[in-house]
Amino acid sequence: MPQVEGPFQVKLSPQPLHAAAEGMFGRMALDKRFEGALHADSRGEMLAATTAVPGSAGYVALEKVDGALDGRRGSFLLLHSGLMNRGQAELTIVVVPDSGSGELEGLSGRMKIDIREGGAHFYRFEYALPGVE
């Protein structure tokens, strides 16, 4: 499976919640810019919740990535599922099946995020695409 990596920038913007969810959840709009072999912009929505126990929380998000992956143009959706269990992080980011379009039709894969010293964000994306080795 091909694997690519590079930096990305992310901007989180607080959004209003359904009245019944206020105080229980946080909602954010995601705006990202990926650089490197994944040269793309993405837009998404994130819903997060914290608990009374420090270091315990969860979030889910969906984002649409639009740009080029190893020179192939198109778009695809990513699904995030994140969990913090008293400071122990578990994060899964996968391509939504059958969401690839254009030259990315049939795309599948998993992404990992690495936040380094100083807050710099990096992605590592392992993917499969029909006809690509």
Q: What percent of the chain has pLDDT over 70?
A: 100
Q: Which tokens hold the place of 95?
A: 């391509």
Assess if residue 12 is contained within a domain: yes
Q: What is the mean pLDDT of the chain?
A: 95
Average pLDDT on 23-34 reads 93
The answer to whether residue 10 is domain-embedded is yes
Question: What is the model's pTM?
Answer: 0.94
- Residue 122: inside a domain: yes
Task: Tell me whether residue 89 is in a domain.
Answer: no
As given in the structure block, the two tokens for residue 4 are 């690519």
- Our count of domains for the chain comes to 1
Q: Which of 32, 50, 19 is nearest to 93 (CA)?
A: 32
Give percent helix, percent strand, percent coil of the chain, each to the nearest 5. 5, 65, 30
Range of the domain at 100: 3-49+62-78+95-128
In a domain, 88, yes or no: no
Question: For residue 104, which phi and psi values (nearest 5 degrees)?
Answer: -105, 15
Residue 116 lies in a domain: yes
- For 49-100, write each residue's pLDDT tens digit: 988 899 999 999 999 999 999 999 999 999 999 999 999 999 999 999 999 9
In a domain, 71, yes or no: yes
Residue 17's pLDDT is what?
87
